[in-house]
């Protein structure tokens, strides 16, 4: 059915948009930016902050444009004295209850509140509260919350509730005492937060930020007794550039490597290499289950946020999880075993740092289940993309002027299969490339599996492999994981292999990725552009299947033995355990 079009004027400009469009969206189509604060498209559309108000001819009061639908013949004015005065007064009242240490706030360059004040011409705050003190909570391993900077926009609570269906935070108390917190004001460490960090990237101010690990990493870099090794995750190479004003989806792999070497890391390896080991182990495990009556569907274990969600909400599904460690943990384990032996370095003297798109990785590095037989934890510190960008800036590097460098070779050669791990469906496609090749031969097996690509929330595909029809599923965002798991448990959904990623869109949209305003997040396809850059790199790679990686072949031949063998299990696998949802 053809969609009905609506004709209206905005600031006397004729506009034609589909029925159901909001005034805010229609204005944007006409090249008019209406300021907003609480609005986040498809996540938080509640018209609560009243920053986006406009005049509508015939309406009795100013209307919130983010929730007000267009109608035929509507006349809208967005820049009248009445509108400007209302927006300014509303923002001043917000600022009266906001601790303004802007010069030292880690969000000072990405604060939507500060930008709003500039856009609306606020040059003084008449009602400033000078006695506001920090209200810090840092109980969680991945996050610090400071409610003295919260503006009660509720974007964090909406993404936690709607996108992730975890819902551990919400408004407590009423009126002037309203604040965001957990039920009964419990600490985040005491509830079933999965550490995904989606609340951080949704927050418009400095009320939420990741636990900063840069100081301890810098201390290790300046400790002569430590051999410091670093590895970036697949998606970081297509997001780091955004921190320095480069276009979304810019692949800055070479500049990133140069920056890491100039920061003083002794070795710069690539977590992509470990992702290839993940595919070899996970693919071997899947084939063993498929051919020998193992527990199906098998579910990937690369996303620590998803793993924690499963352990807390679906402990009965733990037998379905692959026993493989995540690429981050495999990377650290290989550095502190294979690399340590080859380099003649005591693993206890090696300090492993990873650069991750995900705040849940900060939680994962502390999990005792990951401890190695030699007593070491595989990874010592996990930095987000944002933390790395701050280290580069503080070191005085002009990132966009850096020459391209190359990873150190021992654990720094990747394939196209590992590169695409950063996009939802990437782990599944990488696994299918190797599984299909093992069953059909490299010459006969397809290289690309487009059915599992794209940013659709839940994707299904069926493939005919020798002797078996294999049905797979890919889901990102924990709300979608819940849909699939409930379907599997009820018998309505039947699969052989499932990929889950905690963050919507996968790692390219992780909680540790660069910050963007709500307008950018609402109207720019960040996930699609970033993922496209990974698939473009994949197309140009010399090796596009994990089992073709020459480093992987060398390590299995001289150190690990067969994929899925005893030594590989000892180093690259772990156990996952049920966790209580509420702790004391």
Task: List, edge to edge, every strand of the sheet that includes 208-210.
Answer: 136-137, 143-146, 208-210
Residue 539 known to be catalytic? no
Residue 322 known to be catalytic? yes
Residue 170 has phi, psi (to 5 degrees) of: -175, 175
- Say which CATH topology domain 215-572 has: Rossmann fold (3.40.50)
Residue 364 known to be catalytic? yes
- Give the contacts of 582 (CB within 8 A, at least 6 positions apart): 186, 190, 191, 192
DSSP string, 17-37: EETT-BHHHHHHHTT-----S
The pLDDT of residue 124: 82
Q: What is the dihedral of CA 187, 189, 195, 200, to 10 degrees?
A: 30
Residue 285 known to be catalytic? yes
Distance (Å, rounded) from C-alpha 257 to C-alpha 406? 6
Catalytic residue among 150, 153, 310, 507: 507
**Which DSSP symbol is given to 40?**
B
**Quick check: 23 and 33 in contact, CB under 8 A?**
no
Distance (Å, rounded) from C-alpha 30 to C-alpha 35? 14
Catalytic residue among 156, 160, 302, 324: 302
**Quick check: 452 and 428 in contact, CB under 8 A?**
yes
Catalytic residue among 55, 210, 311, 364: 364
- In the block, tokens 């301890």 appear at 216
Catalytic residue among 19, 75, 369, 554: 369
Catalytic residue among 255, 261, 361, 362: 361
Alpha helices in 186-270 (DSSP H): 198-202, 214-221, 253-262
Catalytic residue among 282, 311, 499, 548: 282
Distance (Å, rounded) from C-alpha 499 to C-alpha 462? 14
CATH code 3.40.50.80 for 96-210: no
Catalytic residue among 86, 250, 322, 546: 322
Tokens at residue 26, please? 């229609």
Q: Which of 65, 62, 71 is nearest to 20 (CA)?
A: 71
The residue ranges of every structural domain in the chain are 5-93, 96-210, 215-572
| Per-residue pLDDT of the chain in tens (584 residues, 90 and over written 9) | 788 999 999 999 999 999 999 999 999 999 999 999 999 999 999 999 999 999 999 999 999 999 999 999 999 999 999 999 999 999 999 999 899 889 999 898 899 999 999 999 998 888 777 778 889 999 999 999 999 999 999 999 999 999 999 999 999 999 889 999 999 999 999 999 999 999 999 999 999 999 999 999 999 999 999 999 999 999 999 999 999 999 999 999 999 999 999 999 999 999 999 999 999 999 999 999 999 999 999 999 999 999 999 999 999 999 999 999 999 999 999 999 999 999 999 999 999 999 999 999 999 999 999 999 999 999 999 999 999 999 999 999 999 999 999 999 999 999 999 999 999 999 999 999 999 999 999 999 999 999 999 999 999 999 999 988 999 999 999 999 999 999 999 999 999 999 999 999 999 999 999 999 999 999 999 999 999 999 999 999 999 999 999 999 999 999 999 999 999 999 999 999 999 877 65
- By DSSP bridging, strand 381-384 and strand 350-356 are parallel
Around Cβ 313, how many Cβ atoms within 10 Å?
18
- Say which CATH topology domain 5-93 has: Ubiquitin-like (UB roll) (3.10.20)
Residue 507 known to be catalytic? yes
């Amino acid at each position: 059915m053809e969609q009905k079009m609506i004709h209206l004027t905005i600031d006397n400009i004729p506009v034609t948009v589909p029925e159901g469009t909001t005034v805010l969206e229609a204005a944007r189509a006409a090249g008019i930016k209406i300021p907003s604060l609480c609005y986040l498209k498809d996540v938080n559309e509640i018209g609560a902050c009243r920053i986006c108000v406009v005049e509508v001819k015939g309406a009795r009061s100013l209307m919130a444009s983010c929730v007000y639908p267009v109608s035929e013949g509507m006349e809208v004015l967005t820049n009248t004295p009445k509108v400007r005065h209302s927006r300014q007064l509303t923002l001043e009242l917000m600022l009266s209850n906001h601790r303004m240490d802007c010069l030292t706030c880690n969000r000072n360059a990405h604060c939507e509140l500060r930008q709003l004040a500039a856009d609306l011409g606020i040059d003084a705050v008449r009602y400033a509260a000078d006695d506001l003190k920090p209200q810090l909570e840092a109980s969680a391993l991945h996050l610090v919350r400071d409610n003295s900077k919260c503006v009660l926009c509720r974007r964090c609570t909406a993404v936690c509730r709607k996108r992730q269906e975890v819902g551990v935070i919400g408004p407590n108390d009423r009126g002037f005492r309203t604040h965001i917190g957990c039920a009964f004001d419990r600490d985040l460490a005491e509830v079933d937060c999965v550490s995904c960090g989606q609340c951080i990237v949704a927050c418009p101010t400095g009320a939420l930020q990741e636990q900063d690990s840069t100081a301890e990493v810098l201390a290790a870099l300046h400790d002569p007794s430590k051999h410091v090794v670093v590895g970036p995750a697949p998606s970081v190479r297509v997001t780091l550039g955004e921190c320095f004003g480069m276009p979304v989806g810019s692949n800055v792999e070479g500049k990133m490597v140069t920056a890491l070497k100039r920061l003083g890391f002794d070795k710069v390896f690539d977590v992509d290499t470990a992702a290839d080991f993940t595919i070899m182990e996970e693919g071997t495990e899947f084939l063993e289950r498929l051919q020998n009556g193992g527990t199906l569907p098998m579910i990937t274990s690369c996303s620590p946020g998803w793993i924690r969600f499963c352990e807390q909400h679906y402990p009965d599904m733990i037998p379905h999880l692959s026993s493989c460690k995540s690429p981050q943990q495999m990377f650290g384990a290989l550095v502190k075993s294979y690399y340590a032996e080859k380099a003649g370095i005591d693993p206890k003297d090696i300090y492993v740092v990873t650069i991750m798109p995900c705040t849940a990785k900060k939680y994962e590095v502390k999990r005792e289940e990951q401890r190695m037989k030699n007593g070491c934890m595989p990874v010592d510190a996990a930095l987000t993309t944002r933390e790395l960008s701050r280290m580069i800036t503080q070191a005085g590097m002009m990132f966009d002027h850096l020459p391209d460098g190359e990873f150190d070779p021992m654990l720094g050669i990747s394939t196209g299969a590992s590169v695409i791990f950063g996009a939802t469906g990437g782990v599944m496609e990488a696994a299918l490339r190797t599984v299909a090749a093992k069953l059909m031969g490299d010459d006969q097996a397809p290289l690309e599996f487009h059915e599992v690509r794209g940013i659709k929330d839940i994707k299904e595909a069926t493939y005919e492999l020798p002797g078996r029809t294999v049905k797979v599923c890919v889901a990102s965002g924990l709300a979608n994981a819940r849909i699939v798991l409930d379907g599997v448990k009820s018998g309505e959904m039947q699969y052989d292999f499932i990929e889950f990623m905690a963050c919507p869109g996968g790692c390219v949209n992780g909680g540790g990725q660069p910050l963007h305003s709500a307008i950018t997040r609402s109207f720019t396809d960040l996930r699609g552009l970033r993922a496209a850059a990974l698939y473009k790199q994949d197309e140009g790679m010399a090796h596009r299947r994990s089992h073709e990686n020459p480093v992987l072949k060398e390590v299995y031949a001289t150190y690990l033995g067969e994929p899925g063998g005893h030594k590989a299990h000892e180093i690259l696998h772990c156990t996952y355990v049920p966790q209580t949802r509420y702790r004391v």
